Amino acid sequence: MRIAVFLDAPHQKKYVDVVRETLVDMPEATVEGVGPAMEQSHAPVFQTIADVGRRNLIQTSAKLVAKRPYMFARTALSQSLFFALFLEMRRRWYVAKSVFAFSPDHIILLEDNAQGLTGVVTQMARERSIPFSVLPDYIPNPAEPAGFYFSDPNHTARTWAGKIVLRFYSQWALQYEGRILLRLPAAQILAKQLKKGIFPQPWILNSGYCEAIYLESQAMKDHYQKLGFAEQKLRVVGGAMEDKLHEISSNRDALRNKLMDRYAFDSQKPLILCAFPPDQYNASTVAYEYRDYRDLCEAWFEELGDVTQSANIVVVRHPRLSAAKLTKYLKPKVILADQPIEELLPLCDLYVACVSTTIRSALALGIPAINYDCYRYAYGDFSRAAAIKEVDNRQRFRAVLQETIAQSTLTSLKALAIKDAAYWGIVDGGFKARLREAILEVNQAYRGKPIATHEATFRLGK
């Protein structure tokens, strides 16, 4: 059995090792990482050309004109149907060369997205009767792309192409905050439809025709079902990070003492781990609390620095952030760690993040969390958690942070988190065994006629 793991971003490469380790006792199984993340020379082409519309057209055009005049012409052309068709054909050529040249028997994706290359991969897999499944790297939430493209003129339905989309392909449109938005620029939608692309719910990440979605918890299963996914598509197996979390948790005391010694921490103080938010200032920023990313960094580090008398603080940067970008904002006794987050998360007493999917791992470990939504996305992904504090402004963040690190409050929250942990994840070291069983079962059951993840009548908001 030949399994291709499709990767869009460099930080996803670890998932190839996860799948390989899952099937390590099957010598007949070959696992290969494919996609832009495995071919860095190819990735910038698709990041710049294939995802046009990701930023406001005027802002993007100005940058392109200043840096690469020839790229400006490509951005302008992106609004034409001719260019959109060319782009779709180019994507298909790339996917045929990078994915299907491997002749996979099964494809595992980290997302099935109508935007970008993953939607092309799944469409071409259906054409070739190759089963595919999803091991999610992100939590699906239609509000995320809607908020991102809210002010982007490329995603309006007011053009002639947009009106055609509304008339014949209405599933691509979404009414959000009083506006009608298109999931992709209208010309790209028409190009996909002309190439016989089938996207029944393009606003819902991972919707489509996968054979299975491997979920980490009952909480995520409930979330997916709330978005209309058929239960038969959802398999709770645990998360890809959970086996590592279990390994670290099993040796927590020794590893925590080692960390305390390394950074000369006070063992009598609680340990706060902060997953620093990435730079999201390339989208609509109307609702953002801070003017720019510099202001955000200064505010976060100031607030963290103010509690170092009462707590030990460790900051972990986002995979898209360089250490150099954050170092200049550091405060005394605030440590910028170089370890991956999964090695530190089980050691902390309180987790602080900004709408990060890693919050679910903290909750699965029974660790209380503060979700400081300074981008004010208001996704609500963790609102049902008993041991999470959610804030969306600096004043509340300061108050909640100082209140939470008090011994009595933290102890109470910890008890709630432990009681709620099983709902948010399965940290027992058995993830790979469950994933292996699910993959084999899905592959054996495949008969070449996949069914959709959603009923044809399902509509968002109903």
DSSP string for residues in 339-372 = S-HHHHGGG-SEEEESS-TTHHHHHHTT--EEEE
The predicted structure's pLDDT at residue 48? 38
Q: Residue type for 393, please? A: N
pLDDT grade for 53, boundaries at 50, 70 and 90: very low
Q: Residue type for 424, please? A: W
> Distance of CA 350 to CAs 105, 251, 268, 275, 387, Å?
43, 18, 14, 11, 10
What is the average per-residue pLDDT within 258-284? 93
Whether residue 72 is predicted with pLDDT greater than 80 in this model: the reply is no
Q: 312-316 and 212-215: which strand pairing?
A: unpaired
Residue reference for tokens 């190009």: 191
- Identify the DSSP state of 115: S
Say which residues have a Cβ less than 8 Å from residue 386's Cβ, sequence separation at least 6.
Answer: 416, 417, 419, 420
Compute the distance between CA of residue 249 and CA of residue 240 in angstroms, rounded to an integer.
15
Residue reference for tokens 């995320």: 144
Task: Give percent above pLDDT 70 in the chain.
Answer: 90
What is the average per-residue pLDDT within 226-252? 95
pLDDT grade for 230, boundaries at 50, 70 and 90: very high
Which of 308, 305, 302 lies closest to 266 in space, CA to CA?
308
Specify which residues 370 forms β-bridges with: 352, 389
Of the given ranges (46-55, 241-250, 318-327, 399-408), which has the lowest mean pLDDT? 46-55
Whether residue 47 is predicted with pLDDT greater than 50 in this model: the reply is no
CB-CB contact of 284 with 151 (8 Å): yes
CB-CB contact of 38 with 7 (8 Å): yes
Q: 132-134 and 30-34: which strand pairing?
A: unpaired
* Better pLDDT: 433 or 320: 433
Of the given ranges (74-78, 168-172, 253-257, 396-400), which has the lowest mean pLDDT? 74-78
The predicted structure's pLDDT at residue 447? 87
Of the given ranges (64-68, 188-192, 389-393), which has the lowest mean pLDDT? 64-68
> Distance of CA 212 to CAs 130, 384, 445, Å?
13, 25, 11
The predicted structure's pLDDT at residue 283? 72
* Better pLDDT: 43 or 122: 122
Whether residue 144 is predicted with pLDDT greater than 50 in this model: the reply is yes
User: How many C-beta neighbours within 10 Å does residue 235 have?
Assistant: 19
Whether residue 104 is predicted with pLDDT greater than 80 in this model: the reply is yes
Helix (H, G, I), strand (E, B) or coil at 275: strand
Which two tokens mark 264? 């000369």
Of the given ranges (207-216, 226-235, 450-459), which has the lowest mean pLDDT? 450-459
What is the average per-residue pLDDT within 358-366? 96
What is the average per-residue pLDDT within 112-137? 94
**What are the structural domains of the chain?**
2-142+203-239+429-445 (3.40.50), 250-424 (3.40.50.12580)
**What pTM was computed for the model?**
0.88
CB-CB contact of 314 with 331 (8 Å): no
The predicted structure's pLDDT at residue 385? 95
pLDDT grade for 82, boundaries at 50, 70 and 90: confident
Question: How does the average pLDDT of the chain come out, rounded?
Answer: 89
The predicted structure's pLDDT at residue 460? 83
pLDDT grade for 71, boundaries at 50, 70 and 90: very low
Where in 73-185 does DSSP place strands (E)?
106-109, 132-134, 173-176, 179-182
Say which residues have a Cβ less than 8 Å from residue 357's Cβ, sequence separation at least 6.
Answer: 137, 138, 139, 381
Cα 84 versus chain centre, distance: 26
